[in-house]
Structure 1
Amino acid sequence: MVRVITQDTYDEVVKENMEEFDMSPEEAINEAVAQFEAQGVDLSNIIKDLALSSGDDHLVSTTVAKLKEIWDDKQRDFNDLMKEFDTLKSECAKDIARRVRASKDGAYKVLITILDSKQSKFFQELSDHDRRLILKVLDCLIALMDMQPDLLDHKGIDLIKNMLDNVEDEEILTSTLKWTTNCCIKHEMNRQKLFAKSISDNLKCMLKVTGNVKLLSATLEVIRKLTLDDDIRVEFGKAHDHAKELGAHLLVPLTNLLKENTQPPLASELMLTMAALLVRHELCKMVADAGSDVLFTVLADNYENVAVVQQANKLITALAGNDDVKRDLVKSGIAPVMVSILARHSSNATATALTLKCIAALTLREPTHSRLFFDCGAPEVIADCMKVHPDNAAVQKNGCWAIRNMVARCREQNPKFHELGIEAILNQSYEKFGQDFGFDIKSALRDLECDVKLDEQWTGKGVQMSNDS
């Protein structure tokens, strides 16, 4: 079990090292850190590099206190307020320990109070003074709530919704979306509460804004975060429900946007977002009807761009979940494109793994597709990729899937794979990854008609049954 301590305990040990052992501040800090780490104490939430010579209070604490003091003063100086915002943002950006300290000192409450005081301004054109103030508060909230989504309360949720509903300033909207993103990471209840506010309607409106890459990128990020299932505190989340509803509302606009933005960075983000929403067959069909052939344009325009290729692979793999869409993609000529991309980016392990996974999806239960890939030279390229990345688990596993799906219903391909030495490659992979995905490797060997010993998964104990009445 991980042990934790408070900031005060840490501070006392550092001071004790300085006072009793005549250490310099740097020596005292190093010694304290070494002591606690030797005891198995987690210091991730502790501010270690303390400015002890300046007094007992941390800069984070004094900044929060000063911020509250200035705001409570009716004759407040605007420039002083801006300086304190900058200091708080700078401190929170340094590490999680400072953010935890700021939250304990009430930074969230102060920032929300200031933002709440400006709610009446959301419905009108903002003055330069109010605009600058709101942006500074949002910047501080983004920095403060990074990895601290628990701070969000009902007032914060209402403020997010109010701004998305009424503010027209695109820079403020972008910052609001970034704040929303931080609130959604590893926090299922925040996602559900925001979703209950019909935030999907706001996101759909944001997709209609043209010419602002930052705003569109922030919108896409929020969409993806709403589909996460990363909160270990919740047994059953609503990631699938969110993805289904968002997909029904947004996949057509996203497909149309992809047609208009086939170059990075938006092309990559659009495809990644679309792939996250494709959780049902009808959604895949929706994208296909809206124009999935745009993928060919994206790949042709970005053939050398490995980042775009990776996201395209994810989207094609997701679309292949619908058998009809998969068949249409293959009929349109996706097979030679995939083999060519696999050969071109074979030196990149991530791109290779994703392309192999895509080939596996396109050939699953489709012997016609398998033969097309075979005729395009897929066996040679697959074997070469597995040789190039013998220690990469994803490449080896996805390579096994691709081989198995290609030969499962087309055993006439086996001789070609054997000529390429695939049995030795798979046996070598089993030696390294047998504990992780040995079943997949053995399945590929089995369908290649190699000598393989399959483990019996369930065996009886040989107990004599009796029928005593």
Structure 2
Amino acid sequence: MVRVITQETYDEVVKENIEEFDMSPADAIADAKAQFEAQGVDLSNIIKDLALHSTDNHLITTILNRLRQLCVQNDYKDDEILLELDKLKVECDKEIAYRVKAGNEGAYNILIDLLESRLKIYFEESNDKDCRFIIKVLSTLVSLMNMQPDLLEQRGVDLIKSSLDKINNEDMIVHLLKWVNMCCIQHEHNRQRLFQTEIGENLLKIIKSGSHAQTVSEAMQLVRKFTLDDDIRVEFGKAHEHARDLGIKLLEPLTSYLKANIKPPVVSEVMLTMATLLVRHELCAAVADAGGDAALFAVLADNFDDVSVAAQASKLITALAGNDDVKKKLIKAGLAPIIVSLLGRHAGNPNVAGLILKCIAALVLREPDHSRQFFDSGAPDAIVECMKMHPDQANVQKNGCWAIRNMVARCREQNSRFHELGVESILNAAYDKYANAFGFDIKSALRDLECDVKLVEQWTGTGVQMER
């Protein structure tokens, strides 16, 4: 178990080194670090170079005290607060220890107070001066809450929702969404509280408007954040429920947006967001009915050489292939030779090649007609060449095994071609490396290729006679 200490404990040890052992500040800090690290203490949240003779001397403390003084004055000048906010942002951007100190000393409440009071004025007057001030506060909040989303509380949640409901300025919305995105990273409770405010309606409005690319991009990032399951403190999250509800609401407008924006980098983000939301059969069908399949062909035709587009298009096609009817529609439209050509074009990139191989595996699963179309398009050669090219890439080897197994499982006449390409030795070499990780998948491919493979019986009886 990782051990942790407070900033005060660290400060006391360094101060003791200076006062009782007559060490220089540098030696005192080095000795304290060595002591704690030897005890297995995690010092990532500790400011090591803190001026220790008085914690009030630390710059973060000084900045926050100055902000408090300014906030209680009725005649303060914006420039004075903006200057302190700039200083605070610089400190928070240094490392997590500085952000933790700022959070512990009340920086979040100061910023929320500033934001709340200035938003109230902005909603009444809507002037550029207030807009710039609000953006600065939001930017500082993003820096402060980086890797510490626990600071968000109900007042912040309510402020986020009311702001999204009322603000029309694109720059302000972008910075507001950046803050919301930061609040949702590795924090399931924040995601659920925000989702319960019906923030999906605000995201729908932003995506439907489509007038500002950066705003739409931030909105799509937030959509994907709601589908994460990255908070180890929560046993069961609501990633699937969020994806389902957002998919029902957003997939149709996202499909329309995809049709109108087929150039990178926007198109890659749209496809990634759509793939994230395709968690049910009816959602796949809805995208196909809205013309998403045709849009995919247009995207691939215009961006065949783009690595990012190839990767995200493969993810989207794999997700759509979860619906058998949509899968058949895609193949009928001529997708097989395009995918094989795409694999040949991007074979040198192991990440993209792995995604395309996974896409092939999904498209041919339980579909012998699809398998034959891929075979006729030269898929065996492309698959085997990829596996030869990347013997040390686990994702390529695993997804290649899936693609081979699914192709030949119901089309054993294809085995001879794979054997001609030397696939057995490639699979055996992969088994030697990855037996513990996905040895079963490799043996499944060898079995369906009718190779000599030893299958181990997983569960056996003990031979004990059962009494009646």
CA contact (8 A) 1:363 1:406 kept: yes
The range that moved more, 105-114 or 3-12, is: 3-12
Match in the other structure for 1:400? 401
Q: 1 CA distance for matches of 2:441 and 2:307?
A: 27
Match in the other structure for 2:142? 142
CA contact (8 A) 1:164 1:173 kept: yes
Q: How does 1:61-460 map to 2 (within 5 A)?
A: 61-291=61-291, 292-460=293-461
Identical-residue share of aligned pairs (%): 61
Note the C-alpha offset of 1:115: 1.4
Compared with structure 1, are the counterparts of its residues 48 and 145 closer, same or farther at alpha carbon in structure 2 (3 Å cutoff)? Answer: same
CA contact (8 A) 2:424 2:446 kept: yes
Note the C-alpha offset of 1:28: 3.4
- Partner secondary structure for residue 460 of structure 2: coil
Q: What is the CA deviation profile of residues 220-270 of structure 1, one whole-angstrom value per residue up to 9, with x for unaligned ones?
A: 111111111112222221111111111111111111111111111111110
- Partner secondary structure for residue 305 of structure 2: coil
| Amino acid in the other structure paired with 1:71 | C
| Amino acid in the other structure paired with 1:96 | I
| TM-score where L is the length of structure 2 | 0.96
- Partner secondary structure for residue 62 of structure 2: helix
| Amino acid in the other structure paired with 2:413 | E
Compared with structure 1, are the counterparts of its residues 53 and 299 closer, same or farther at alpha carbon in structure 2 (3 Å cutoff)? Answer: farther
Q: What is the CA deviation profile of residues 71-105 of structure 1, one whole-angstrom value per residue up to 9, with x for unaligned ones?
A: 11222232111011111111111111111111110
| Amino acid in the other structure paired with 1:29 | I
Q: 2 CA distance for matches of 1:280 and 1:430?
A: 34
CA contact (8 A) 2:111 2:141 kept: yes
Structure 1 regions of 5+ residues with no counterpart? none
CA contact (8 A) 2:174 2:218 kept: yes
CA contact (8 A) 2:122 2:130 kept: no
| Amino acid in the other structure paired with 2:8 | D
CA contact (8 A) 2:108 2:151 kept: yes
CA contact (8 A) 1:403 1:444 kept: yes
Q: What is the CA deviation profile of residues 19-64 of structure 1, one whole-angstrom value per residue up to 9, with x for unaligned ones?
A: 4555544443333323222221101111123345897532222212
Match in the other structure for 1:30? 30
Note the C-alpha offset of 1:121: 3.2
The Cα RMSD (Å) is 1.6
- Partner secondary structure for residue 276 of structure 1: helix
Q: 2 CA distance for matches of 1:419 and 1:57?
A: 75
| Amino acid in the other structure paired with 2:33 | V
| Amino acid in the other structure paired with 1:308 | V
| Amino acid in the other structure paired with 1:285 | A
Note the C-alpha offset of 1:122: 4.8
Q: 2 CA distance for matches of 1:443 and 1:274?
A: 32
Compared with structure 1, are the counterparts of its residues 124 and 332 closer, same or farther at alpha carbon in structure 2 (3 Å cutoff)? Answer: farther
Q: What is the CA deviation profile of residues 155-195 of structure 1, one whole-angstrom value per residue up to 9, with x for unaligned ones?
A: 10110011100011111111111111111111112111111
- Partner secondary structure for residue 75 of structure 1: coil
The range that moved more, 289-298 or 30-39, is: 30-39
- Partner secondary structure for residue 168 of structure 2: coil
Q: What is the CA deviation profile of residues 114-135 of structure 1, one whole-angstrom value per residue up to 9, with x for unaligned ones?
A: 1121343353452233212211
- Partner secondary structure for residue 341 of structure 2: helix
CA contact (8 A) 2:387 2:397 kept: yes
Q: 1 CA distance for matches of 2:349 and 2:3?
A: 40
Q: 2 CA distance for matches of 1:27 and 1:264?
A: 52
| TM-score where L is the length of structure 1 | 0.96
| Amino acid in the other structure paired with 1:459 | T
Q: 1 CA distance for matches of 2:125 and 2:408?
A: 65
Note the C-alpha offset of 1:211: 3.7
Q: 1 CA distance for matches of 2:429 and 2:61?
A: 58
CA contact (8 A) 1:122 1:167 kept: no
CA contact (8 A) 2:210 2:257 kept: no
CA contact (8 A) 2:14 2:52 kept: no
| Amino acid in the other structure paired with 1:128 | D
Q: 2 CA distance for matches of 1:299 and 1:53?
A: 63
- Partner secondary structure for residue 208 of structure 1: helix
| Amino acid in the other structure paired with 1:75 | D
Q: 1 CA distance for matches of 2:105 and 2:131?
A: 26
The range that moved more, 127-136 or 401-410, is: 127-136
Q: How many residues align?
A: 467
CA contact (8 A) 1:122 1:163 kept: no
- Partner secondary structure for residue 209 of structure 2: coil
The range that moved more, 327-336 or 10-19, is: 10-19
Q: 2 CA distance for matches of 1:345 and 1:68?
A: 56
| Amino acid in the other structure paired with 1:73 | Q
- Partner secondary structure for residue 207 of structure 1: helix
CA contact (8 A) 2:7 2:47 kept: yes
| Amino acid in the other structure paired with 1:132 | R
CA contact (8 A) 1:60 1:102 kept: yes
| Amino acid in the other structure paired with 2:349 | N
